[in-house]
Structures are given as structure tokens and as C-alpha cells.
Amino acid sequence: MTQTVLACTRVEDMPIPNVLSEIELCVECRKRVWVAASSPRKAVRLCLQCAAPLIASTPDVRPMMTTEQAADIAAYYRARKKA
Ligand SMILES: [Zn+2]
């Protein structure tokens, strides 16, 4: 089964979204995340922190994200490697 995952920035990490967004909850950690108003309604909402390991470990999860979010995930991995 292919699941579309929307990787969203947590509200606590970005107080003001850069696109028209609404606040929803990450299905994993229940933190508040920004979801762009134009996002597909069926996609699973995850924060970047929860989405990164899932995307890495589950090949049939197709992340939908902006290039900015992809850069955030890349930075997240770099930070984890250093830790
Ligand atoms: Zn989360």
C-alpha cells in the first residue's frame, strides 16, 4: 500500500508559515504542524521530525514536500549523524 505523507514543519519550529497554511496535528507525535492550504486532503500529516525516519525506512512512502522542507530533512539527518 502506498501512503502519501505530507512532511510539515512544526509550529514550534516556524512561528509564521511562508505560505497560506492551517494548523493540523502530526499523526505521530500530535504536535501542531503547518499544512499548506493547497495540500492534498488525503495525505497523512507528519511533522518533519517524525517523517524523516519513516521516509528513510519505508520505500513505498512517498513524501510530498517543498524543497525547503526537503532541505530541513537533510539538515535533520546531518544533525543526527553528528549526535
Ligand atoms: Zn510528529
Q: Global pTM?
A: 0.69
Tens of each residue's pLDDT in the chain, 83 residues = 566 788 899 999 988 887 888 999 999 999 999 998 888 888 889 998 888 887 777 766 666 666 566 666 667 767 777 66
Ligand 1 midpoint to CA 9 (Å): 9
**Measured between alpha carbons, how far is 73 from 76 in angstroms, rounded to an integer?**
5
Q: Are strands 3-8 and 32-36 parallel, antiparallel or unpaired?
A: unpaired
Ligand 1 midpoint to CA 32 (Å): 8
Ligand 1 midpoint to CA 36 (Å): 16
Ligand 1 midpoint to CA 2 (Å): 20
Domain region containing 35: 3-82
- Residue 47, judged by CB atoms within 10 A of its CB (0-12, 13-18, 19+), counts as buried
Ligand 1 midpoint to CA 25 (Å): 8
Q: How many domains does the chain have?
A: 1
DSSP 39: S
